[in-house]
Amino acid sequence: MSDFLIHVAAVSCLYGILALALNLQMGFSGLVNFGLIALFGCGSYGAAFAHLWGWPPLAGLALGLVLAALLGLFFARLGARMSEDYWGIATLSLAEIMRLVFTNEQALAGGAQGVSGLPVTFSTLAGQGAGLSRLALYAALLVAAFILCQRITRSGFGMALKMMREEPQLARALGYDLGRMRAIVMVISSLMAAVAGFLYAHYLSFVGPEQLMSHETFLIWSMVIIGGIANNWGVVAGAFLMQFALAYVPFVKDWLDLPTDFVAATRLVIVGGGILAFLIWRPKGLFPERIGGSHG
């Protein structure tokens, strides 16, 4: 396998974990979160802080998980005080505030320059061994995240989440504590996003505020919408499909001898156009949710 394919597959696995996290919130629970990238940033900046402060990498993972859990609980707390539409806007605003803080606060984590020099996972291995080992690790974590989401969504708690999504008044009347359910879902998915952020930081060896831009959130949304909302198999397929589509844009540019600007513009068109096209013509995605079926 070439280094390029290993790289794209490895990044696809990390985005697959993010897509599963968003699907658990939005797909199964109806929580329209536009600030998922902030939870990802907790993991990546946890790794950055540990590097700056001379801590071992696993301490950065623990820090990122704690920050993500607290932010997820804060998101859930906000959700108890406003409608879903306003909550979605609030999460987007909080993620943007987080990016602006890290961009302008030089003493905190390098400001706009970010933090570089983080140790790369398995960097001591020779040749393709390092890349294949990272791919195997990320694939194993993606499978673990998938199994976790499947078990949650197929459980009684998962059925309660779907009831909260479809008929929140009925769920409340039947005695379900929607605030507690929302908090549990947010913490679980926040931890998944933080793990992906931590691994991504130690994959690129760099953490910067541009990784927290809102278009990254909408990239993850496109994976969920195109793959299939409330279908765990679908969103993983959507993550791989989108990552491979974006990765091959430069080859198309070279083949057609187009200017460099074509790459960034085309990637935005693929994400935005993909979301619009599927919302209009195939709103349930490539793999629709099977109501009462055997897969979630």
On the question of pLDDT at 27 being above 50, the answer is: yes
AA identity, residue 263 = V
CA 73 to chain centre: 17
Highest mean pLDDT among 252-256, 262-266, 276-280: 276-280
Q: What would the pLDDT profile of 129-154 be if each residue is shown by its tens digit?
A: 888 999 999 999 999 999 999 999 99
Residue matched to tokens 């990254």:
216
Tell me the mean pLDDT in the region 162-180.
87
Tell me the mean pLDDT in the region 61-72.
94
Residues 6+ apart with CB under 8 A from 219: 15, 242, 271
Tell me the mean pLDDT in the region 9-33.
93
- pTM of the complete model: 0.91
Residue among 197, 201, 209 at smallest CA distance from 99: 209
Phi and psi dihedrals of 207, rounded to 5?
-130, 130
Residue among 65, 66, 47, 43 at smallest CA distance from 197: 43
pLDDT of residue 259: 75
Give the C-alpha separation, 67 to 191, whole Å: 9
Give the C-alpha separation, 250 to 236, whole Å: 23
Asked if residue 231 lies in contact with residue 162, where contact means CB atoms within 8 angstroms, the answer is no
